[in-house]
Structure 1
Amino acid sequence: MSGAHSSQTGVLGHDHVFLGDRHRRNEQRTWLVIALTTVTMVAEIAAGTFYGSMALVADGWHMSTHAAAMLIAALAYLFARRNANNRRFTFGTGKLGDLGGFASAITLALIALLIGWESLVRLANPIEISFPQAITVAVIGLVVNLACAWLLRDDHAHHHGHGHGHSHGHGHSHVHDHADHGHREHKTSRGRDNNLRAAYLHVLADALTSVLAIFALAVGSLNGWLWLDPLMGIVGALVIARWSLGLIRDTGGVLLDYAPEGEDLPEEIRAVIEANGDRIVDLHVWQLGPGHHGAIISLVSETPQSPSLYHRKLAQIRELSHVTIEVEPLAA
C-alpha cells in the first residue's frame, strides 16, 4: 500500500458535536417545566400561608425540591450546547446529559429515602389529617405533574448522526483518510436522552406520590385509617428508589463506556467488516451522546484495502458518528 494523505475538505476541521437531535427542544421544555413548577410552588406557599394551611405550604416546599433537581437537567443542556464546539472536550459534550442524569438519579434516590423515612415516622406516630384539604392539595399537585410529564415525554425516536470518520491504515506506511461528515437520520433506541429521562422521572415520581396520596386519603377519610397515608408513602418511596437505581445504572454505564447487555452494535460492525474475509482483532465501541457512538477498529486482511473503503461499508450503521480504522496486512 502506498502512503498518501487525504486532502478532502474538512479533514482537519471536522466538528465533534454529538448532541441529541432534539437537544434544544428538550432544553426549552425542561426550563418550561421548571417555570411551571416554580409558579405552582410559590402559589401554594403563598396560599397556605394566607389561609393557614400547612398542607399547602408543605407541598409547595416539596415541589421546590423537584424544581431544584430539574435545574440540574436544564443546566446540563445549557452547558453542553454552549460548549459543543469547545475543543477541550475532545469527544464533544454529548455525555453531559448522562452526567446530569446521574446527578439527578442520586437526588431522586435521596428524595425516596426522605419520603420513606418520613412515612415510617408518621406510621409510628400518627398525626391528625385534614382529609378534604389534603386531597385538594394532592389533586393540584397531580394535575401540575401530569402537565409537566406531558411536556417532558420522549416521543421522538429519530436521531441525527455526524458521520466523520478517522481512518488510519497501516501497511508499509500510514494512510490517513477522513470520510465525509454529513447528517444522517436514523431510528434507534440507542439514542435515548438520559438527561430528559431523569427530569421526566422526577415529575413522574411526584405524580406517583400524588396518586397514592389521593387513594390513601380518600379511603382513609371513609374509614378513619390514619395509617394508610404513610403506608402508601412507603410504597411510593420503594417505587421511586427502583426508578433511581435503574437511572443510576444506565447513566453510570454510559459515563464508564460500559456496553450494556444486549448491545448489538459491536456485532453489527463485525458483520459488516468481516463479510469478505477480513478479521477484526481489536474493537472498541462507546457512546458519545444520544444517538451517537464512536468506534476504534483494528483489522487484518490478506488483501488490505484503503481505510475509506471500510468506512463506506460502515456508513449503513447510522449510530456510528466517529470511526477510526487501522488496517494491517495478514502475516504469512
Structure 2
Amino acid sequence: MHMGSHAVALGLSVFTYGYARRHAGDRRFTFGTGKVNALGAYTSAIVLAGFALVMAWESAARFLAPMPIAFDWALLVAVVGLVVNGASALLLTARGGEAHDHHHHHHDHSAGHDHRPHGQEAGHPHEHHHHHEDHNLRSAYLHVLADALTSVFAIAALLAGKYAGAVWLDPLMGVVGAVLVARWAWFLLKETSRVLLDRRADADIRDSVRTAIEGVGDNRIADLHVWSIGPGMHAAALSVVTHRPRAPEHYRALLPDHLGIVHSTIEVHGCRETPSEAIVRRV
C-alpha cells in the first residue's frame, strides 16, 4: 500500500506532463496549459497528506499493540528502499535543471489592448520555454524524498530495536516521519493553490513592472494585475495614464523579459490636460 501510493502519485506527475503537452496548442485554454502543472502537483500533495495520515495511524496502532519484527528482513527492505529512493531523488534533481514547460496560446490584437508576448506577430500561435519552479516536478521529488526519509528512520529504529531492544522506536519514528511529510504536503498545497486561485504575483515582480513603465517619460500606472499562469510564466493587465499616449506595443516592450510575462493586456489613457496645464493647476 505504501509503495502503491507513491506509484500512483508519480504516475499522476507523468500524466500531468503528457496532458499539458498534448493540449498545449488547444485554444480552449485561454492562457495555455501551464496551470495543469499546478493542478497535478496539488492533487499529488493531497496524496502525500493522506500518506502522512496513514503513517501516523499505523504508528499509533503499533504503540497500542506492538507486533514482533523480523529485523533482518526489515533492514534489508529498508536499505534497498533507501538506495532506490535516493537514486530517484538524485535523478529528479538532475532532471529539474533541464525541465522546460511548453506553453502555447493564441491571441488577436485589438485597439488599446495587447495580448501578444514579446517578439510575436498578432494572429499566430507561439510557444514559450521557461525554466522556473516546477510544482509538478517538486511534488514527485517530495514523494521519493518522503520514501527515502522513511527508510532512514526505519533503519535507525530497526537497528536500535535489534541491538538495544528499543522496539518502541519503530512507531516513534513513524510519527516523526508523518509530521515531516505532512509539513511538506502543506507547503506544496499552499504553493499550488496560490497558482490555481490566481493569487497576485509577488511584490518584487509587480514593483519591477511598475518601475519599468513609470521610469520612462510621464507614464503612470493606474491599475495593475500580475498573476502566475504556469511555471515561470505570468500574465499582466495594466492601465497606463500619460500625457503622450503611445501604442500598447511601446509599453509592452518596456516590460523586462526575465519577469516571464507571456500575456499582457495594456490599456493606454491620455490625460485631459497638457503637462503645462497640470503645472499651472498645481501652483
Q: TM-score normalised to the size of structure 2?
A: 0.85
Q: How far apart, in 1, do the equivalents of 2:257 and 2:107 lie?
A: 13
Deviations, residues 165-224 of structure 1 (Å, cap 9, x unaligned): 877654xxxx7685522777777xxx2110011111111101110000001111111111
CA contact 1:185–1:318 (8 Å) conserved in 2:
no
One of 162, 183, 196 as aligned partner of 1:221: 162
Q: How far apart, in 2, do the equivalents of 1:204 and 1:96 lie?
A: 23
One of 185, 193, 218 as aligned partner of 2:134: 193
Matched, 1:310 2:246: no
CA contact 1:122–1:230 (8 Å) conserved in 2:
yes
Name the structure 2 match of 1:152: 92
Q: How far apart, in 2, do the equivalents of 1:315 and 1:68 lie?
A: 40
Deviations, residues 128-167 of structure 1 (Å, cap 9, x unaligned): 1111111111001111111111221154288688899877
Structure 1 residue 273 displacement after superposition: 0.5
**In structure 2, do the counterparts of structure 1 residues 118 and 329 end up closer, same or farther at CA, with 3 Å as the change threshold?**
same
Name the structure 2 match of 1:93: 33
Name the structure 2 match of 1:297: 238
One of 201, 219, 223 as aligned partner of 1:282: 223
CA contact 1:302–1:330 (8 Å) conserved in 2:
yes
Letter in 1 for 2:30: T
Letter in 1 for 2:3: M
Structure 1 residue 316 displacement after superposition: 3.6
**In structure 2, do the counterparts of structure 1 residues 183 and 98 end up closer, same or farther at CA, with 3 Å as the change threshold?**
closer
CA contact 2:114–2:266 (8 Å) conserved in 1:
no
Q: How far apart, in 2, do the equivalents of 1:273 and 1:323 lie?
A: 13
302-311 or 312-321: which moved more? 312-321
CA contact 2:114–2:264 (8 Å) conserved in 1:
no
Name the structure 2 match of 1:180: 119
Runs of 4 or more off by more than 3 Å in structure 1? 157-170, 175-179, 182-187, 315-318
**In structure 2, do the counterparts of structure 1 residues 259 and 301 end up closer, same or farther at CA, with 3 Å as the change threshold?**
same
Q: How far apart, in 2, do the equivalents of 1:239 and 1:307 lie?
A: 49
Matched, 1:81 2:21: yes
Letter in 1 for 2:133: R
Name the structure 1 match of 2:56: 116
CA contact 1:177–1:307 (8 Å) conserved in 2:
no
**Helix, strand or coil at the partner of 1:85:** coil
Structure 1 residue 277 displacement after superposition: 2.2
Name the structure 1 match of 2:82: 142
Name the structure 1 match of 2:10: 70
Structure 1 residue 330 displacement after superposition: 1.6
Letter in 2 for 1:139: V
Unaligned runs of 5+ in 1: 1-60
Structure 1 residue 299 displacement after superposition: 1.1
Unaligned runs of 5+ in 2: 121-125, 274-283
**In structure 2, do the counterparts of structure 1 residues 185 and 67 end up closer, same or farther at CA, with 3 Å as the change threshold?**
closer
**Helix, strand or coil at the partner of 2:34:** coil
Q: How far apart, in 1, do the equivalents of 2:49 and 2:115 lie?
A: 47
236-245 or 308-317: which moved more? 308-317
Structure 1 residue 287 displacement after superposition: 1.2
Name the structure 2 match of 1:125: 65
CA contact 2:130–2:233 (8 Å) conserved in 1:
no
CA contact 2:29–2:105 (8 Å) conserved in 1:
no
The number of aligned residues is 264
Name the structure 2 match of 1:326: 267
**In structure 2, do the counterparts of structure 1 residues 245 and 226 end up closer, same or farther at CA, with 3 Å as the change threshold?**
same
CA contact 2:48–2:185 (8 Å) conserved in 1:
yes
Share of identical aligned residues, percent?
Answer: 46
Deviations, residues 56-84 of structure 1 (Å, cap 9, x unaligned): xxxxx421211011111111111111011
Name the structure 2 match of 1:212: 153
Q: TM-score normalised to the size of structure 1?
A: 0.73
Letter in 1 for 2:260: E
Q: How far apart, in 2, do the equivalents of 1:158 and 1:142 lie?
A: 25
